[in-house]
Amino acid sequence: MTNCPICNGNIEYTTKPIVYNYRNHNLTINQSGHYCSQCNESFLSPKDIKATKKEIIDLQRSIDHLLTTNELKKIRKKINLTQEDAATLFGGGIRAFHKYETAEATQSKPLDILLRLIDSNKISLDDVRRVAV
């Protein structure tokens, strides 16, 4: 793409600071993509979107008082579970924890609370295993 389909201006692939707003909280991300130098329209490929998705999802989770992707991974590793083991124990499907940790899906609030309780030693993983069916 060399000419903008909107204004026929010149399109260049570059990185621009973009302000993302979620629930009155702002996050400035460096978003790569094709941008028109005349009308400032942006054209983002799936690869461009994927590059910043985790950062945006983590902002949303933080504002919604949910564990971020890295916090989830840290807790899962701390309790010595693979992604598959965690998905089997807590539910959500075979790839659930992979999706949570790569920002493809967001964990439920009850799962988030359970992981926080395990992480803070309020309940043990053995307690969870005993009641899991």
pLDDT in tens, 15-72: 999 999 999 999 999 999 999 999 999 999 999 999 999 999 999 999 999 999 999 9
CATH homologous superfamily for 69-131?
A: lambda repressor-like DNA-binding domains (1.10.260.40)
> What pLDDT is stored for residue 2 in this prediction?
84
Inter-residue contact 59 to 25 (CB < 8 Å): yes
Coil vs helix vs strand at 128: helix
Q: Which CATH number applies to 11-49: 3.30.470.160, 2.30.30.100, 3.10.20.860, 2.60.40.10?
A: 3.10.20.860
- End-to-end alpha-carbon separation of the chain, Å? 54
- What own/partner pairs with CB < 8 Å and gap ≥ 24 does 88-96 have? 89/128, 89/129, 89/132, 90/114, 90/128
- Calculate ∠ Cα 121-74-77, nearest 5°: 80
Percent of the chain predicted with pLDDT > 90: 95
Six-digit token string for 40: 């400032």
Q: From CA 70, how far away is CA 133, in angstroms rounded?
A: 28
